[in-house]
Structure 1
Amino acid sequence: MADSSIIRQGFLVKKGHVRHNWRTRWFTLNKQELRYYRNREDRTPAGAINLARATLTCLTMDDYKKPWVIQIRLENGHEYLIQAPDLTVRDEWKTAIEDVVRSLERLEFSPDRSTMKLIGGDSLATTTTKRDIVHAMQDRSGGVRLLEFKCKGERQNIKYFSGSAILDWLISWSFCSSRRDALKFVSSLLRQSYFHPVRIDFNKGQCINLKDNKAYNKEVADTDDAYYIFVCFAPGEENDVFGNSDGESDSESDDDILSSRMPTVHVNTNPGDPKVLKQGFLRKKGHLRHNWRPRLFVLREKQEHIFYYRGSKQMSKPLGTIPLRGLSVLALDNEGDAEPRLLSLTSPPATNGSSEAITTPRSKRSSKLLKLKVNRILLTTTTGGRIMLEAATSDDRDSWVAEINIASKMISR
């Protein structure tokens, strides 16, 4: 039964604190913390991240050598690094975690999905959300002037801004018509925890969060020495406001799965690469040991094979390929369907495409096992070879089945 308290869940890659290797973990987000598990089926989390007064930074490739990494920095200076499989999934997690952080600091909190009428003029559409404006503040070319500070013991610099700078920005971009209106508006963002007031000790190399100090949380100070940091900093994103303006280990357990889904994006950024029709992390059953390992599968336009890669090493040489020409694709609904097919991997492929053609009796299987839902895909090649894959959700499985069928038919013409 699904836990109603869970806001979001899925597979992400987390950097370890001791060995500093990257491991796939199942993450669940509730209204107070972000928990992670070694396996999806585990009931006891391997750890939990208390999100009260946490700050988020979406690291760029300039900041870190891996893409789509979210840095979560706690009040005590402890930091976590988690990696999503692509930009869209990263942004979904970033937004969900940001909402939890802000709701934990609820001061006149209002849902972001509601419309907002801008203060001091109508230069921008009234449907623009506060989050849109905060993202515009972080724009690389037209955002608020950010300063950088190196905290003692921290790897990445902290990016901060002054109270006077953010007021100047609102007026210069005509979000507000007067400094009074700008102060009123930006103070509402402060109370709703879009950013935190901080005190920076330049001599000691310390950045102290003043979120709990009520004297700093009512109104933004219009001075050059009043400093603030974004609760969620995501530079380099395209904003509607401006228009178009470590080592890794492959020793995961067999039950580890990477991300639940990925949209259509390129594995690498070479201009000459064929267009990616679909890519995502699926579990693949091994041919020899029959264990399940997470693999990144990539389906490209006008290529005769599906490529799969190890873990999150998305720039490396593929581990293997699956020929698309004449490939048969079958979606399996539950464990009772999947297991008999695994027991007859050497039998010839079905000729009529029906699941009954390769189904064996289930009388010896328990009713409980028959009800166990899986999201597996059986691929059968023209030579009779069979590959068993497993998706995280039924929607993801069905999407893969549809895309592979289309690609196979195009290649087989």
Structure 2
Amino acid sequence: MQEGSGILKEGFLVKRGHVVHNWKVRWFVLLQDRLLYYKFVGGKKEPSPKGRILLDGCTITCPCLEYENRPLVIKLKTKTNTEYFLDSCSREERDSWALDITGAIHAGNPVQVQQLHLMKNSFKLPSNISLNHIVDKMHDNRHGIKLTPNTEQGNTYKESFTGSVLVDWLISNSFAASRLEAVTLASVLMEESFVKPMGARSVDAMRNGDLAEQFLDDSTALYTFSESYKKKVNSKEDLQLNILELSGTIVKQGFLTKQGHKRKNWKVRRFILRAEPAFLHYYDPTKEDNRPVGGFSLRGCLVSALEDNGVPAGVKGNVQGNLFKIITKNDLHYYIQASSKIERVHWIEAIKQLT
């Protein structure tokens, strides 16, 4: 079987292990009939796949909210009932993978592929479900919606959730069959004063949008429970982070490989680029913790692409291609590898605009 041809999509995802349920970053390659995954060592994909997921008869669940601290998981269940959990770096990336994998699963059935892209407008709440029942479930300590600190334009809203979190939750609890249905239902919850907007974006949309645009299925629009329904959040859940550093608008995020400062080994990290204030933070995608493992201010930084011929100075190991370097104001050197030339260009351009 030819594994190298007909690639539909490739990139990093974080996969849950089968035996030990730990999370590991793998390089995934989507073909017409299967999904291959590879170990990525020292800035290179290993030549043979570590495993494969056959897509014939596979079912996909997205969003999959089985992991409280990983809201961006896709679940694949094969014909033989093996379950795979794959985590992504952003909602856009998750939805893009889900759409492409679903397209590959249904490739023999173009009508179904077409239906994926078309959402029906005729949503009615099933007669056997009341809004109060939904709201009670939303407040459930174990399976409800978790209130967390979120920042918007420098303001921190301690007990809030994003529009996309509510939409994901409504779908995963079978209250809605599509994102469009879930947005309609969320608008009704807001209209009936069970949910209220928080912060400029969502308040603006409620005031100025027509009914279809009043609730935002968006990871930056903030909402909370209305006063009478508010839950108490444990103070230990309040993040003891430098709020200012993490309060900027997210400009770009994705998986990149970074050389360590001390051991000089290469590890895949989830990078988040923020503006106002301009910071680049990186996170360990294998950990459940939402806190960055490192980060720095971009003010006064220099960023440049590194030569693709041979291994550049400062780079350890047999890593080459798609590398770039960031030198901070304090003369710290960061060596980072993108997964393609075009991705490197996009990251460098986005960083340069903020230095």
TM-score, normalised to structure 2's length? Answer: 0.60
Q: 1:83 aligns with which of 82, 87, 101?
A: 87
Match of 2:261 among 278, 281, 287: 287
TM superposition shift of 1:21? 0.7
Q: Give the number of equivalent residue pairs.
A: 252
User: For residues 390 and 267 of structure 1, what CA distance do their matches in structure 2 show?
Assistant: 28
**What does 1:213-228 correspond to in 2, within 5 Å?**
none
Partner of 1:299: 273
Correspondences of 1:176-191 after superposition (within 5 Å): none
Question: Once the 2 structures are TM-superposed, how far is the Cα of residue 236 of structure 1 from its aligned partner?
Answer: 5.5
Counterpart amino acid of residue 332 in structure 2? G
Matched, 1:237 2:237: no
Q: 1:57 aligns with which of 61, 81, 85?
A: 61
Matched residue, 1:340: 313
Matched, 1:395 2:342: yes
TM-score (norm 1): 0.53
- Asked whether the 8 Å contact 1:238–1:244 carries over to 2, the reply is no
Letter matched to residue 64 of structure 1:
Y
Q: Provide the residue aligned with 1:42 in structure 2.
A: 46
| SS of residue in 1 equivalent to 2:18 | coil
The Cα of 1:314 is off from its aligned counterpart by 7.2
Equivalent position SS for 1:340: coil
Opposite residue 74 of structure 1, the aligned amino acid is: T
Q: Is the 8 A contact 2:14 2:285 kept in 1?
A: no
Structure 2 unaligned segments of length 5 or more: list them: 130-175, 188-217, 225-242
Percent identity, please. 29
Matching residue of 1:96: 100
CA–CA distance in 2 between the matches of 1:9 and 1:304? Answer: 29
1:110 aligns with 2:52: no
Whether the 8 Å contact between 1:268 and 1:314 is mirrored in structure 2 is no
For 1:53 and 1:289, locate their aligned partners in 2 and report how far apart those are by CA, in whole Å: 44
Distance 1:68 1:384 in 2: 35
Q: Over the residues paired in the alignment, what is the CA RMSD in angstroms?
A: 3.8
Local SS of the residue matching 1:88: helix
Cross-structure match for 1:18? 19
- Distance in 2 (CA, whole Å) between partners of 1:20 and 1:50 is 21
* Structure 1: gaps of 5 or more residues: 114-128, 148-233, 246-264, 344-368, 409-413
What do residues 142-189 of structure 1 show as CA deviations (whole Å, max 9, x unaligned)? 488999xxxxxxxxxxxxxxxxxxxxxxxxxxxxxxxxxxxxxxxxxx
Which amino acid counterpart does residue 276 of structure 2 have in structure 1?
K
**Residues 268 and 322 of structure 1: CA distance in aligned 2, closer, same or farther (over 3 Å):** farther
- The offset of 1:381, in angstroms, is 2.3
In the alignment, is the contact (CA less than 8 A) between 2:12 and 2:255 conserved in 1?
no
> 1:299–1:306: 8 Å Cα contact kept in structure 2?
yes
- SS of aligned partner of 2:95: helix
Task: Rate the CA distance shift 1:299–1:136 in 2: closer, same or farther, 3 A.
Answer: same
Aligned-pair distance for 1:287? Answer: 1.6
Q: After superposing the two structures, state which structure 1 stretch, 24-33 or 296-305, moved more.
A: 296-305
Larger radius of gyration: 1
CA shift for structure 1 position 297: 1.9
In structure 2, C-alpha distance between the alignment counterparts of 1:266 and 1:57, rounded to whole Å = 19
Contact 1:58-1:235 within 8 A present in 2 as well:
no
Verify the 8 A CA contact 1:132 1:239 in the aligned structure 2.
no
Structural mapping, 1:333-372, within 5 Å? 333-336=307-310, 338-342=311-315
In the alignment, which of 308, 314, 318 is matched to residue 282 of structure 2? 308
Q: Is the 8 A contact 2:257 2:336 kept in 1?
A: yes
Change (3 A) 1:383 1:242: closer
Instruction: Give, as a single letter, the amino acid of the residue that structure 2 aligns with 1:58.
Output: C
User: What is the aligned partner in structure 1 of residue 330 from structure 2?
Assistant: 383
